[in-house]
Amino acid sequence: MENIYMPLKARVVSVTNETPDVKTFKLRLDNGDGACIPFLPGNFLEVSSFGAGEAPFCISSSPTRNDAFDITVRSVGSVTSGLHKMKPQDIVGIRGPFGNHFPCSAVQGRDILFVGGGIGLPPLRSLIHYMLDNRDDYGDITILYGARTPDDRVYKRELDQWAGRKDVLFLETVDVGSKSWSGRVGVVTILFDEIFVRPKITTAFTCGPPVMIKFVIQGLLKMGFRPDNIVTTLERYMKCGVGKCGHCAVGEKYACTDGPVFTFADIQKLSEKP
Amino acid sequence: MFAVNKIPISGLGEDRTIKEKHMISTILKDDFFTVLRGLAKTSRMIAPVMLSNGELLYDRIQCIEDVSLQPGIPIMSAKEFFFSSCEELFRFKRIGTDAIDFVQPEEAEACVFLGIRSCDLNGVRYLERFYKRKFNDTTVTKKIEKTVFISLGCLDPGEQCFCACCDSGPFLSDGFDAQLTDLDNRWMVEIATARAETLLRPYDNLFTPATDADLNERKNILSCVDSKFTRRSFMAMGVKKVSLGAVEEEVWEAFGDRCISCGSCVFVCPTCSCFNVLDREIGEEGVRLRTWDACSYSGFTREVSGHNPRPRAADRLKRRFFHKLSYQTTKDSGRLGCMGCGRCVVSCPSLADISTFVTTLRSVRTV
């Protein structure tokens, strides 16, 4: 009889320092060829640091690069600090992938606008890689990224690569600059003034802290986006990942099984304000 | 055919076939004790016991003389036996620095649950449905599946009880394996499933098929019980207002001000099923535990960033009553999330229970 709380064993393949308190872990299942369980951008994993506990993390890698699961983790609580102590070859537990996913195929042929804030970039990164690896399936791709400070920018090397691509428009800003920072300073929505989008044929994907999402959605609506063309993720304190523990319930929905991906139109329909 | 005596009840665990027509018979109370004594020899049993202060509590039965089928409602619901306040999800053991081994929890054991009240059995069925949907949580559902429920209809509803308003009692029409009705010096036993029939077959000679007079007697008893309820909670009004988001903000405010977020309503509730998960590790060995949690706690939705979607007690009560009452959530569970057992009425120190809440909604309307 299958125990839905029993994790699979996986090993840390590599650890990348992103910022002073954020690391990306590459995790590979510890059985057979280590291939990932099939997933799509937006899905999440329950990852165990045994002894510290278990927590949900979005998969920050793309299924088009299917050799391992990436999770990008800020050290804030007991599970995440347990993970931050890990080295390559260490054992973790994995359950999942869980949740719904971004509408990767439904938006084929449309223009895409990504708006990410801080540690909200990881879920979008999965989808960005997915779309870049299937570049011909999508129209114009614009990526906007805002971080608190230059040090807090995650995936620094990839940001430079995106900035260098001719088939992608990448713009970024930081809330607070530094001596060595020559880029823009200001919240992510200041970037809206620098882009030209066609809201009717564009789908926007946005992830980040709640207050940022609020202002981004306001900005997108002002630009003329329809609520069902604005896609975000509902981040809730979550325990079990399978719709049982009750923590992530919002009205009649569970962020873990009905989400975490919702359109703004879905969110407006919820009987509880998220 | 087969020696029923020798068949341990675990062998019957899967056969939950519901009989087309319930078999109704009667048995002298003394003879029923003989049956219980026999059942206790072959299977584990849970039943109400009377504490020294006269209160009832469901407990695992060590000695059959402890079983009490007196009227009254046990202090705690039956959920502890299926969804425990603290239980192991699995154990893990580190082997050197490089490997880890997992140990599954023990398999659920077959069991007879005797004397469970209608509201509580409805609560168990509600939990079963909830834990089975989408991802089947076998740590809960297996235990329910392996239990034979012999429920006890209530003839004397307590002051707190309002199951009649919630369609969950005082008697059941389904969901039980067998149901008992007190006929003075006899029990009427209504058998609904094949496994209850198999379980009781060895004692066949002690049972008498119910006569028309017996059935009439029960009918009379049932019609009398309804008039004995002193508490009326008009759930339909609560359901409507909560579903439509039409509860006045001042009502939420008033209940939020009263609620001290102690969680007692959640812990005594037969249908509350929220939990927390944590690890405990000593040396090389550890365990992943599941413990009851309460949506009325301020930390229930607090995120690590400090952001809390439900910072006020009023927000949390709104959530709890929405989950129990609204069309939106009861659509999935197939019935109201409140069983009318009234335990929260007793346990709440500040009159913020669901019965007082729906009654308030009615009075707000009529003012």
Per-residue pLDDT averaged across B174-187, rounded? 95
Please check whether residue A8 touches B, CB under 8 A: no
To the nearest whole Å, the CA of A238 is away from the closest chain B CA by 8
Angle between helices B313-325 and B249-258 (to 10 degrees): 110
Chain B residues touching residue A84 (CB < 8 angstroms): none
Instruction: Tell me the pLDDT band of A1, cut-offs 50, 70 and 90.
Output: low
ipTM of this complex prediction, to 2 decimal places = 0.92
Closest to B47 measured CA to CA, from B117, B106, B107, B119: B117
How close is the nearest chain B Cα to the Cα of A115, in Å? 20
- Cross-chain CB nearest to B139 (options A3, A89, A235): A3
Report whether pLDDT(B243) > 90: yes
The DSSP bridge partners found for residue A143 are A114, A170
CATH 2.40.30.10 in chain A, residue ranges: 8-98
Looking at residues B293-308, what average pLDDT do you find?
92
Annotated domain spans of chain B: 4-228, 235-366
Q: Is A274 on the interface with B (CB under 8 A)?
A: yes
Average pLDDT over residues B2-16: 42
Quick one: average pLDDT of A48-76? 94
Mean pLDDT of B311-315: 95
Flag whether pLDDT at B1 surpasses 60.
no
Choose among B139, B277, B328: nearest Cβ to A53: B277
| B262-272 residue pLDDT tens | 999 999 999 99
Q: Residues B313, B314, B316, B320: is their CA dihedral positive or negative?
A: positive
Given this model, what pLDDT does residue A8 score?
A: 94
Of B100, B277, B319, the CB nearest to A240: B277
Instruction: Return mean pLDDT, chain A.
Output: 94
Task: Please answer whether residues B170 and B155 qualify as being in contact, where contact means their C-beta atoms are separated by less than 8 angstroms.
Answer: yes
CA A237 – CA A260 distance, rounded (Å) = 11
CA distance A62 to chain B (A): 25
pLDDT at B180 over 90: yes
Check residue A190 and give its pLDDT. 96
Name the closest residue on chain B to residue A49, using Cα atoms: B279
CATH architecture of the region A111-233: 3-Layer(aba) Sandwich (3.40)
Mean pLDDT score, A177-188: 95
Q: How many other CB atoms sit within 10 Å of the CB of residue B55?
A: 13
- Best of B90, B241, B276, B288 to disrupt the A interface (most A CBs within 10 Å) is B288
- Optimal mutation site among A89, A244, A273, interface B, most CBs of chain B within 10 A: A244
CATH topology of domain A8-98: Elongation Factor Tu (Ef-tu); domain 3 (2.40.30)
Which of A2, A3, A80 should be substituted to probe chain B, the one whose Cβ sees the most B Cβ atoms within 10 Å? A3
Tokens 């428009």 -> residue: A169
Q: How far is CA A256 from its chain centroid? A: 14
| Residue-level pLDDT at B330 | 86
Buried b (16+ CB within 10 A) or exposed e, B78-94: bbbbbbbeebbbbebeb
Q: Which of residues 116-145 of B touch A (CB under 8 A)?
A: 130-131, 133-139, 142
Q: Which of B89, B107, B138 sits opposite A2 (nearest CB)?
A: B138
Q: How many angstroms separate the CA of residue B9 from the nearest CA in chain A? A: 19
Q: Identify the closest residue of chain A to B302 by CA–CA distance.
A: A237
- CA separation for the pair B117, B148 (Å, rounded): 14
The ranges of chain A annotated as CATH 3.40.50.80 are: 111-233
**Distance of alpha carbon B176 from the chain centroid:** 12
pLDDT tens per residue across span A189-213: 999 999 999 999 999 999 999 999 9
Model confidence pLDDT, tens digit, residues A9-42: 999 999 999 999 999 999 999 877 767 789 999 9
State the smallest CA–CA distance between residue B122 and chain A in angstroms: 19
Q: pLDDT at residue B346 above 60?
A: yes
Element (H, E) at B39: helix B29-42
All residues of chain A having their beta carbon less than 8 Å from the beta carbon of residue B274 are 245-247
pLDDT in tens, B137-156: 999 999 999 999 999 999 99
Percent of chain A with pLDDT over 70: 99
Q: Give the contacts of A255 (CB within 8 A, at least 6 positions apart).
A: A99, A234, A235, A236, A238, A248, A249
Q: Please give the torsion angle defined by the CA atoms of residues A56, A58, A64 and A66, in that order, rounded to the nearest 10 degrees.
A: -30
Percent of chain B whose predicted confidence (pLDDT) is above 70: 93
CB atoms within 10 A of CB B127: 24
Amino acid at B182: D
- C-alpha dist (Å) from residue B168 to B119, B153, B305, B325, B333: 5, 11, 42, 14, 14
Which long-range contacts link A79-84 to residues 24+ away (Cβ below 8 Å)? A79/A47, A79/A48, A79/A49, A79/A52, A79/A53, A79/A54, A79/A55, A80/A55, A80/B304, A81/A52, A82/A49, A82/A51, A82/A52, A82/A53, A83/A23, A83/A25, A83/A47, A83/A49, A83/A52, A84/A23
Q: Output the six-digit token pair for B197.
A: 């029939």
* Confidence category of residue B20, pLDDT binned at 50, 70, 90: low
d(CA B357, CA B153): 27
A185: left (phi over 0), alpha (psi -120 to 50) or beta: beta
State chain B's mean pLDDT as an integer.
Answer: 91
Sorting pLDDT into bands at 50, 70 and 90, what band is B363? confident
Contacts of A205 (CB under 8 A, 6+ apart): A102, A112, A113, A114, A115, A124, A127, A231, A232
Q: Strand (E) positions, chain A?
A: 8-19, 22-29, 44-49, 53-58, 69-74, 91-98, 111-117, 141-147, 169-174, 184-185, 202-207, 230-233, 249-250, 253-254, 261-263
User: Could you please report the per-residue DSSP string of B81-111?
Assistant: GTS-SEEEEEEEEEETTTEEEEEPPPPPPPE
d(CA A84, CA A23): 7
The stretches of B116-211 forming alpha helices (DSSP H) are 118-132, 138-145, 194-200
Burial track B182-216 (b if 16+ CB lie within 10 A, e otherwise) = bbeebbbbbbbbebbbbbbebbeebbeebeeebee
- In chain A, the largest separation of any two C-alpha atoms, in whole Å, equals 60
